[in-house]
Structure 1
Amino acid sequence: MPLPLSVQLYTLREELADDRDRTLRRLAGIGYGAVEPYRPQDDPEGFRALADDLGLTISGAHCGALLDPRAVPEIFAAARILGTDHLIVPAGIPHEDFTTREGLARAAGTLNRLAEQAAPHGLRIGYHNHWWELEPRIEGRHALEVLAEQLAPEVFLEIDTYWAAVGGADVVSVLRRLGERVHALHIKDGPVLKGEPHTAVGQGRMPVPRILAAAPHAQPVVELDSCAGDMMTALAESHAYLTSLDPLETE
């Protein structure tokens, strides 16, 4: 695993709201080397200073507000302050757009226009999936894969491997087909059922080593939307599992 393990900070949204500095220090203490914020425009200067102090890099940033043209300049400025060139649309495109070719063309147009705006700033735009981009089939193919064909070359994908599985995908096969379009992976684990809490990575049903091997170039990002136990403990257990994997298993 050549890239440092990152954490999507939505995982720790409650802890961050209570004490941001302490939460990031605990993550760094576990051994994570990077983080993926979900509201980069919130105090980017202070966040960057703390991350630098802790030796944490910013692997990318989620920001649903990218779909609001009025918010885009502030988000681009925040990304430059944070030192990341990867901005990710995490949701917000209507679910029904993933059920028809016409809808997919609209979704692709939105992402392609954002990418065109971002390029002069040295930034790239990506899209993060949930289950509803995989569950619909367009002529027998996952809607997300049809979308990928309509995206400009500079638009990347961050594949949420768990949600892809919930959507009925063979995640390893999808990753192989998407290839270099995939820049990052959300690694999570659990029963692979809608509405059920997640587990620490390595304690659920996801074939994590095979997933990592299918996209060895992609940034691994741990994300747990919910968890039956303590979230920081689950992140520590996830880190221990992922760093214990035989490199040959993930190549």
Structure 2
Amino acid sequence: MIRHLAIMGIVLITLTLMNICAQKAEKSIGIQLWSVRDDMKKDAAATIKQLGEMGYAFVEAAGYSDGQFYGMSPEKFNKLLSSNGLSFTASHCGHPLPDKEQWEATMQWWDKCIDAHARAGVKYIVQASMDKKGYGSLADLKRYCDYFNAVGEKCNAKGIRFGYHNHDKEFEEVDGMVRYDYMLQNTDPDKVMFQLDLYWIMKGGKEATAYFEQYPKRFELWHVKDEMELGQSGKMNFEPIFKKAALAGMKDIIVEVERYNYPPLESVERSLSFLMEAPYVK
């Protein structure tokens, strides 16, 4: 009887792992590690293991500092991910807009940053926000666009795509121009892609699909987000957005949960299940 139960337990574990692998093969969905930031601080290895077991395919980091990721070398962090069936696809990091005196030092910072990400095998580096200069005049925003073009050129040289992630302030007007439109019009598509946060564009009062129509192929990464867990607020209608994925130029989707009804790891698992079960997510 005990032997029979043990065999049944092994079978159930095997079937669970097979189901995870099947899900990953069917849908490649990433997780922004900011969603589980406290868990990453407590035990990064255990957290990564749980995310891999849930069925996530890759991660977007939010823990780069001084050449390391969550206190690990690029190689060590990549090994931790790969040993749990995860790829290191994207990373949030960045540096505020420098003035003329700080330009060279900032470019050196980027050289070190990009080198670390190249060693880790990252495909995308994404700056997650701007400082107050970016939300000031159009002249300052133009300086940010020129800065992003310069960083994007450096990333290209290492085989990495550079991009920018929005919040809701980008959809405010300054001098009669919506900031986000200005950024799209004043960055080089070959050097700068955009990671569209689907929740924040909604909060900013704009439609993602309208931007896909006006600026096709610019939105290579998406943050798929809701007020809390995906699909629970009733405010996000993801289906028409996903139907325009090809027009947008979407390459990868990334779950981000910033507020929770449940412990963070449970929240991101529920969010993954929502996307796995959604027929419009291919």
The share of aligned pairs that are identical, in percent, is 23
RMSD of Structure 2 on Structure 1 (CA):
2.1
Q: 1:131 aligns with which of 168, 173, 176?
A: 168
Q: Which amino acid aligns with 1:119?
A: N
Q: What displacement does 1:185 show?
A: 0.4
Distance in 2, matches of 1:187 and 1:57, equals: 18
Q: Which moved more, 1:169-178 or 1:146-155?
A: 169-178
Q: Which residue of 2 aligns with 1:38?
A: 62
Matched, 1:221 2:254: yes
Task: State TM-score, norm by structure 1.
Answer: 0.87
Q: Which residue of 2 aligns with 1:238?
A: 271
Matched, 1:106 2:143: yes
Q: Which amino acid aligns with 2:127?
A: V
Q: Which amino acid aligns with 2:87?
A: T
- Tell me which structure has the larger Cα radius of gyration: 2
Q: How does 1:173-192 map to 2 (within 5 A)?
A: 173-190=210-227
> What are the superposed Cα offsets for residues 225-246 of structure 1, whole Å, 9 maximum, x if unpaired?
2223211111111111101111
> What are the superposed Cα offsets for residues 155-211 of structure 1, whole Å, 9 maximum, x if unpaired?
100011111111111222223323211110001112xxxxxxxx2111121112222
The answer as to whether partners of 2:195 and 2:220 remain within 8 angstroms in 1 is yes
> What is the SS of the residue equivalent to 2:38?
helix
Q: 1:203 aligns with which of 209, 221, 232?
A: 232
Q: Which residue of 1 aligns with 2:79?
A: 49
Distance in 1, matches of 2:216 and 2:208, equals: 12
Q: Which moved more, 1:205-214 or 1:159-168?
A: 205-214
Q: Which runs of 5+ in 1 are unaligned?
A: 191-198
Distance in 2, matches of 1:66 and 1:77, equals: 19
> What is the SS of the residue equivalent to 1:236?
helix
Q: Which runs of 5+ in 2 are unaligned?
A: 1-24, 98-105
Instruction: Tell me: CA distance 1:2–1:213, structure 2 relative to 1, closer, same or farther (3 Å).
Output: farther
Q: Could you list the structure 1 runs, at least 4 aligned residues long, displaced by more than 4 angstroms after superposition.
A: none
Task: State TM-score, norm by structure 2.
Answer: 0.78
> What is the SS of the residue equivalent to 2:107?
coil
Q: Which residue of 2 aligns with 1:150?
A: 186
- Count of aligned pairs between the two proteins: 239
Q: Which amino acid aligns with 1:52?
A: S
Distance in 2, matches of 1:143 and 1:39, equals: 27
